[in-house]
A and B are shown apart, each in its own frame.
Chain A
Amino acid sequence: DAGVTQSPTHLIKTRGQQVTLRCSPISGHKSVSWYQQVLGQGPQFIFQYYEKEERGRGNFPDRFSARQFPNYSSELNVNALLLGDSALYLCASSLVTLGRNEKLFFGSGTQLSVL
């Protein structure tokens, strides 16, 4: 079975541009979360979607938005890119919201560089 897949793996943009990152969860997983990992730091929570509804939002500006599609895949959009948006963006999926035996599975991330 395929794991969590993210595309693209690497991306270079310039300041002010917009970017869309994509995530396909593990088959059957209905919950998708997005995290930003700046170099040398731990990941920071951006969004969680479950059954196509936003279930959680981290402390990120409105330039960040996301959505989940009927097939449970997800997109993360970032507008008006800043140099500080350069980071590894991780997507994670789980079957439902975490319960007693649930595990969160991560993709390998999209490395975004803003020049």
Chain B
Amino acid sequence: AQTVTQSQPEMSVQEAETVTLSCTYDTSENNYYLFWYKQPPSRQMILVIRQEAYKQQNATENRFSVNFQKAAKSFSLKISDSQLGDTAMYFCAFMNKDNYGQNFVFGPGTRLSVLP
């Protein structure tokens, strides 16, 4: 079974600074996707960024980028120029793509606070 670990329950960063959230996962599969989701107090899960395991190039989305180390099974999220609106829970998620469906495995989350 796949597992996702986020070793930082809480983190804080000053506005405009850069912060990195850690994620490691365990799987024997070779074809999978990795995601970072943000959950603000509204509780809605919002996709931040996704990475396909077969791609060596790290994904980027504006201020968000990842460091994907497949051999180490590591998938960290870097947030540049942090904004107050980035304050939220961040979940790392793994999905094994099979022929029939999708099954996300989420980590326990990291609570990020952006301080003014």
Q: How far is the CA of A31 from the CA of B100 in the complex (A)?
A: 11
Residue from A40, A58, A105 within 8 A of B103 (CB atoms) = A58
Nearest chain A CB to B23's CB is how many angstroms away?
11
Nearest chain A CB to B24's CB is how many angstroms away?
14
Residues of A within 8 A of B46 (CB): 106
Which residue of chain B lies nearest to A4 when distances are taken between CB atoms in the complex?
B44
> Quick check: which of A11-19, A44-52, A70-78 contacts chain B, the rest being far away?
A44-52
Is B62 part of the contact surface with A, judged by Cβ < 8 Å? no
Report B32-60 CB contacts with A as 1/0, cut-off 8 Å: 01000100001111110010100000000
Which residue of chain A lies nearest to B107 when distances are taken between CB atoms in the complex?
A42
Is B45 a contact of A92 with CB atoms below 8 Å? yes
Is B100 a contact of A55 with CB atoms below 8 Å? yes
Is A108 a contact of B101 with CB atoms below 8 Å? no
Is A50 a contact of B44 with CB atoms below 8 Å? no
The DSSP consensus for interface residues of chain A is strand
Q: How far is the CA of A107 from the CA of B44 in the complex (A)?
A: 6
Is B101 a contact of A55 with CB atoms below 8 Å? yes
Q: How far is the CA of A42 from the CA of B44 in the complex (A)?
A: 13
Report A88-115 CB contacts with B as 1/0, cut-off 8 Å: 1010101001101001111111010000
Residues of B within 8 A of A104 (CB): 47, 102, 104
Residues of B within 8 A of A111 (CB): 43
Is A41 a contact of B102 with CB atoms below 8 Å? no
Q: How far is the CA of A66 from the CA of B39 in the complex (A)?
A: 25
Is B108 a contact of A45 with CB atoms below 8 Å? no
13 contacts between A and B (CB under 8 A): A35-B104, A42-B4, A42-B93, A42-B109, A43-B104, A56-B101, A56-B103, A90-B45, A97-B102, A104-B47, A105-B47, A106-B45, A109-B44
B residues with a Cβ closer than 8 A to A are 4, 33, 37, 42-47, 50, 52, 91, 93, 95, 97, 100-109
Q: Which 10 residue pairs across A and B have the least CB separation, nearest first?
A: A55-B101, A42-B106, A106-B45, A56-B101, A108-B44, A48-B101, A98-B102, A55-B100, A43-B106, A45-B103
A residues with a Cβ closer than 8 A to B are 31, 33, 35, 40-45, 48, 50, 55-56, 58, 88, 90, 92, 94, 97-98, 100, 103-109, 111
